[in-house]
Structure 1
Amino acid sequence: MPIVAQSTETTDWVSRFADEVIEASERRAPGKPVVVASGLSPSGPIHLGNLREVMTPHLVADEVRRRGHEVRHLISWDDYDRYRKVPAGIDGVDETWAEHIGRPLTSVPAPKGSSYPNWAEHFKAAMTAALAELGVEFDGISQTAQYTSGVYRDQVLHAMRHRGDIDAILDQYRTKAKPGQKPKQGQKPVDEAELEAAEGSGAAAEDDGSAGSAGYFPYKPYCGGCGKDLTTVTAYDDDTTELTYTCAGCGFSETVLLSEFNRGKLVWKVDWPMRWAYEGVIFEPSGVDHSSPGSSFQVGGQIVGIFGGEQPIGPMYAFVGISGMAKMSSSRGGVPTPADALKIMEPQLLRWLYARRRPNQSFKIAFDQEIQRLYDEWDKLAAKVEDGSALPGDLAAYARAVGTAAGDLPRTPRPLPYRTLASVADITAGDRAQAVRILSELDPAHPLAALDEVRPRFDRAEEWINTQVPADQRTVVRAEPDAELLGSLDEEARTSLRLLLDGLDDHWSLDGLTHLVYGVPKVQAGFSADATPKELPPEIKVAQRTFFARLYHLLVGRDTGPRLPTLLLAVGQERVRTLLGG
């Protein structure tokens, strides 16, 4: 049975937003489905920072569904946006892709070797697959399809009729110079980092259109000659909808009837609020780059009224980082995506990272050793949920992580500690039979019957070891004893090894070996192996560290390695005895 987080018993951020969303929906559109929205631009790999654009409304939508309401979660694929730059680090892409800058993303060729028809579809596919694995239900909307089929024709014509009103609103906020332009007196320089942060969100350039000699127009055609958006509207007639434009790129010019013309789009700061009104969006978050004065969300709150709509409830969400990496940017290459994260962690853990933090709290996703600590924390929470001791807010986050209103996500039947599975995967290096043997000996009273019992967690841990742990940190067990080191040991050190070897038979399990390796230095110092830290002098910890380092050197030739109990099980009794001189 799925764990259900009752909103009346929790004070988590998701429940609070669900309360607001339901109230707003009943006021604005009684009897209709609740609409929440996300916007993603497939301009390159859609990274884990962009995932917050989806997970925030998903979690709220799912809570609203749990309460019995019909919900639509829209994801607008901003695939009719212009291709702005050639992202770095994309396989199958070279400098020749620069010739497509200015064209719609759906008119740019996919990377070489891709099975998808264009650039946008190539990058949408990976995100769609990851969202399915994460249990995210959504209605996808291609903005290319919407514009080129004339769905927004009435809205475009309406915006053109009211271009003076739109221009007056935008003019109140035109306080920044454009990228690469020297600020005029009183203007603020544009923050290039802000533009980088916006990538993937569907609003990278914060475009509000421009005024030429014919005045301001909130619509930009794609050129009929070169297909790019390097165009300027030079004339427009409201009565006939006759529009003339010229292209600064290729010199092409033409006159069209906007009431029939479908090769262009509203500029971003007008396009977004138009969609709020058209779709009846109640809830849509935005990144910090859109929430400053004069940015698209703030300005859109005034423009949406021109289209007869209301601004959605729109919490600001903070950046998501990666352990050991700087702030994410799609154009810089090597940015982890949701698909990358799901190769090394289960969907439940990734959902939990987004569910447990309020949208305005930044957090990091671990691709380094920190992932082991995160999994330990997750498993402790699962144990508290199981025994009923979890706090309401933690229980709510857990419930939102393990499943949705539709039911629980598939899970690992026997979720052994991630760090243990990673150590086993490290030591066995793909030997499945050896992995099963070691895992079966962790708990002899409940031996593992097959590797499937610890999947998919084992596979995620193995992938982490193989792709994220540097080669010089991998564990290689010695082929032969270190005769020189063994010969140099004093009597006390040899005694410690003898105590360990004598106890192997009776302690050959994960818990037993843990007790044994920590107990040897205690016994040598005249204490019981069961003595607690409070009963022991501080120097015992020093003796334990010295003992552990000695074992690591004798077994793997380093000061550190996987947890010793796991390592000993992996090496096997016979080989342990050989390497330790027994």
Structure 2
Amino acid sequence: METDWVSRLADEVIAEAERRAPGKPVVCASGLSPSGPIHLGNLREVMVPHLVADEIKRRGVPCTHLVSWDDYDRFRRVPAGVPGVDESWQEHIGRPLTSVPPPAGSPYASWAEHFKAPLTAALDAMGIEVRGISQTEQYNSGAYREQILFAMRERRRIDAVLERYRTKGKTSQEAAVDASEDEAERAAAEGSGAAAEDDGGAGSAGYYPYKPYCGVCGRDTTTVTAYDDETTELRFVCDCGHEESVKLSEFNRGKLVWKVDWPMRWAYEGVVFEPAGVDHHSPGSSWVVGGQLVSEIFGGLQPIGPMYAFVGISGMAKMSSSQGGVPIPAEALEIMEAPLLRWLYARRRPNQAFKIAFDGEIQRTYDEFDALARRVAAGTAQPADAAAHSRAVRTASGELPATERPLPYRMLASVLDITTGDEEQTLRILSEVDPEHPVLSLAEVRPRLDKAARWVETRLPAEQRTWVRREPDADLLASLDDEQRASLRLLLEGLDSHWSLDGLTTLLYGVPKVRAGLPPDAKPTPELKAAQRGFFALLYRLLIGTETGPRLPTLLLAVGAERVRGLLGG
């Protein structure tokens, strides 16, 4: 039987974990830098390990999913488009993210906490269980003290590994191209967990893989000038003019540079599975170099894990937290249910790029998801599709909350567009969709109804809103020919007996057929399709003054039979 990508990876991870550490829980990991809005591209950093870890748990194998918050990284740039932030935040560049004040008006204590909070809430809403690790807490508590002292003792060997990948010997033009590409990658990956591709670099006093934060200005604009392996005395100077001498065996105000920090943590946590974005897989990147450092220096093994591709937004360029204005998971969950968002990540292999629709395409996405749910219920879905659906609607811990009556999203959006959210009118319309099984309470169609309402309110362009005519278009009605009048009369005569979504669909498509002397269930021909298009365009013009609009059966239900009659000259 065909297996899905999650099952295949889970097979590999379980086998690898058993080979490395028999009997111990499997460790899957993600890394995120709360340096700005953690967007839907960054979410893939969490979703890929989550889906694999959840499959492992479903099989009864103990598994932990770590999310490492790189909140002790330096504040690199002031991201664009963040409310409550201005150029005055420039003064904090170089300080740890947990030491930078949050945007003005934020209830959180720091920059890092401000951007961690909405993602943490979104993960909870999506049923994603993780163990969060704050790197600020890890470093400040001295948890990595032995690893830091070891890395400093082995600094020459670390430097030799890094030297293999430095741009030594390149022309100035090649180095400039590399630098611009690195900057683009950093911008694209901001928040992805690869804080920066720093390796520490060798200064006049030699190479040191450790970067202290200044005790006066709090920045990492420091340079190590000397280190004694025996006494662990570390001397450094800061660009602000401060000089300091500390014992590294007792000092906690600093961290390993990124290219050394990441492989150190792989060994420390025993990570078996961790994916990485495309920005990490170029020659000399932290993933490539880290694989050598973890095995040659730290005595561990690099995690297995695929490279994952970018996630885009319909109508937007590639996402970058540093550029601002990119949707975060919490915003996606305002307009779509958690199972749908989970499904978008579960159905695509990690190396497949995909887009998430915030525009009108969201309606088609929901149609696809609902169609899959029907195939799953009927037992006709392909195995991989059924697996993706299962991963969307439930986790090893249980089912995610679902809408009791999942009416089509596009219908709900159309109704809400016309009623402008009036709950009484909305319930009246939805109760008439299927008179044999009427919706008796809006609670039956929530939370999907609320998601559609939010989409209409925030994402539907004003020029696409539907405005039903207040008065009949007398001039248009007076200009109709005999065939158009007869078609309208036939429609009006059938309204009462067809007043449901299915009934109105049959009636609307049947009118041109009956006028052509055919039965209502006749197969469409090119001529019939042309007649239907003309008839529908006429109805749109009479009802809402445009040539197109929401699906006509939904529109008629929303307008109501009495008002339809008035606008169609009945």
TM-score range, shorter-chain basis?
Answer: over 0.9
- SS in structure 1 at match of 2:66: strand
TM-score computed with the length of structure 1 as normaliser: 0.96
Aligned to 2:337: 346
CA contact under 8 A between 2:413 and 2:452: conserved in structure 1?
Answer: yes
Superposed, 1:8-27 pairs within 5 Å as: 9-27=1-19
Report Cα offsets for 1:6-42 as digits up to 9, x if no partner.
xxx5411101110111011111111111000000000
State which drifts further: 59-68 or 25-34.
25-34
Change in CA separation of 1:39 and 1:341 when aligned onto 2, cut-off 3 Å: same
Instruction: State the superposition RMSD in angstroms.
Output: 1.4
Percent identical: 72
2:47 is the alignment partner of 1:55: yes
Letter matched to residue 514 of structure 1: T
- SS in structure 1 at match of 2:95: coil
2:504 is the alignment partner of 1:513: yes
Aligned to 1:422: 413
Quick one: distance in 2 between partners of 1:107 and 1:261?
Answer: 18
Aligned to 1:101: 93
Aligned to 1:400: 391
2:70 is the alignment partner of 1:78: yes
- SS in structure 2 at match of 1:45: coil
CA contact under 8 A between 1:81 and 1:202: conserved in structure 2?
Answer: no
Change in CA separation of 1:187 and 1:238 when aligned onto 2, cut-off 3 Å: farther
Report Cα offsets for 1:275-307 as digits up to 9, x if no partner.
000000000000000011111111100000211
- Select 1:46's aligned residue among 14, 38, 46: 38
Report Cα offsets for 1:434-484 as digits up to 9, x if no partner.
000000000000001100000001111111111001111111111000111
Residue 175 of structure 1 deviates from its aligned partner by 2.6
- SS in structure 1 at match of 2:188: helix
Structure 1 gaps, min length 5: 1-8
CA contact under 8 A between 1:147 and 1:263: conserved in structure 2?
Answer: yes
Aligned to 1:473: 464
Quick one: distance in 1 between partners of 2:492 and 2:168?
Answer: 72
2:274 is the alignment partner of 1:300: no
- Select 1:543's aligned residue among 527, 531, 548: 531
Superposed, 1:278-297 pairs within 5 Å as: 278-297=268-287
Letter matched to residue 162 of structure 2: L
Residue 187 of structure 1 deviates from its aligned partner by 8.0
Aligned to 1:4: none
- SS in structure 1 at match of 2:432: helix
- SS in structure 1 at match of 2:27: strand
2:440 is the alignment partner of 1:449: yes
Quick one: distance in 2 between partners of 1:341 and 1:201?
Answer: 18
- SS in structure 2 at match of 1:235: strand
Change in CA separation of 1:459 and 1:185 when aligned onto 2, cut-off 3 Å: closer
Residue 193 of structure 1 deviates from its aligned partner by 2.0
Quick one: distance in 1 between partners of 2:273 and 2:318?
Answer: 26
2:553 is the alignment partner of 1:565: yes
Quick one: distance in 1 between partners of 2:305 and 2:229?
Answer: 34
Change in CA separation of 1:183 and 1:240 when aligned onto 2, cut-off 3 Å: farther
Aligned to 1:35: 27
- SS in structure 2 at match of 1:422: helix
Letter matched to residue 264 of structure 2: M
CA contact under 8 A between 1:80 and 1:105: conserved in structure 2?
Answer: yes
Quick one: distance in 2 between partners of 1:272 and 1:448?
Answer: 54
Quick one: distance in 2 between partners of 1:204 and 1:106?
Answer: 14
Quick one: distance in 2 between partners of 1:411 and 1:83?
Answer: 40
- SS in structure 1 at match of 2:31: strand
Aligned to 1:115: 107
CA contact under 8 A between 2:221 and 2:238: conserved in structure 1?
Answer: yes
Residue 202 of structure 1 deviates from its aligned partner by 2.3
Aligned to 1:440: 431
Aligned to 1:273: 263
Quick one: distance in 2 between partners of 1:184 and 1:409?
Answer: 51
Change in CA separation of 1:280 and 1:107 when aligned onto 2, cut-off 3 Å: same
Residue 195 of structure 1 deviates from its aligned partner by 1.5
CA contact under 8 A between 1:196 and 1:204: conserved in structure 2?
Answer: no
- Select 1:384's aligned residue among 372, 375, 378: 375
> Structure 1: which 4+ aligned runs deviate by more than 3 Å?
181-190
Change in CA separation of 1:475 and 1:165 when aligned onto 2, cut-off 3 Å: same
Quick one: distance in 1 between partners of 2:302 and 2:470?
Answer: 68
Aligned to 2:60: 68
Quick one: distance in 1 between partners of 2:51 and 2:162?
Answer: 33
CA contact under 8 A between 1:38 and 1:54: conserved in structure 2?
Answer: yes
- Select 1:92's aligned residue among 78, 84, 92: 84
CA contact under 8 A between 1:82 and 1:102: conserved in structure 2?
Answer: yes
CA contact under 8 A between 1:372 and 1:418: conserved in structure 2?
Answer: yes
CA contact under 8 A between 2:101 and 2:111: conserved in structure 1?
Answer: yes
Aligned to 1:3: none
Quick one: distance in 2 between partners of 1:10 and 1:372?
Answer: 29
Structure 2 gaps, min length 5: none
Residue 177 of structure 1 deviates from its aligned partner by 10
Aligned to 1:5: none
Report Cα offsets for 1:44-71 as digits up to 9, x if no partner.
1100000000000000000000111111
Quick one: distance in 2 between partners of 1:559 and 1:469?
Answer: 18
State which drifts further: 106-115 or 520-529.
520-529
TM-score computed with the length of structure 2 as normaliser: 0.98
Residue 128 of structure 1 deviates from its aligned partner by 0.2
Aligned to 1:367: 358
Quick one: distance in 2 between partners of 1:135 and 1:476?
Answer: 39
Quick one: distance in 1 between partners of 2:9 and 2:507?
Answer: 51
Quick one: distance in 2 between partners of 1:280 and 1:171?
Answer: 26
Residue 182 of structure 1 deviates from its aligned partner by 4.7
- SS in structure 1 at match of 2:13: helix
Aligned to 2:225: 234
- SS in structure 1 at match of 2:120: helix
2:485 is the alignment partner of 1:484: no
CA contact under 8 A between 2:30 and 2:193: conserved in structure 1?
Answer: no
Quick one: distance in 2 between partners of 1:139 and 1:205?
Answer: 23
CA contact under 8 A between 1:352 and 1:400: conserved in structure 2?
Answer: yes
Quick one: distance in 1 between partners of 2:172 and 2:264?
Answer: 31
State which drifts further: 190-199 or 361-370.
190-199
- Select 1:147's aligned residue among 127, 130, 139: 139
CA contact under 8 A between 2:263 and 2:290: conserved in structure 1?
Answer: yes
Aligned to 1:134: 126
- SS in structure 2 at match of 1:433: helix
Aligned to 2:247: 257
Residue 91 of structure 1 deviates from its aligned partner by 1.1
CA contact under 8 A between 1:176 and 1:187: conserved in structure 2?
Answer: no
Quick one: distance in 1 between partners of 2:2 and 2:134?
Answer: 37
CA contact under 8 A between 2:313 and 2:358: conserved in structure 1?
Answer: yes
Quick one: distance in 2 between partners of 1:423 and 1:208?
Answer: 54
CA contact under 8 A between 1:177 and 1:189: conserved in structure 2?
Answer: no
- Select 2:316's aligned residue among 287, 310, 325: 325
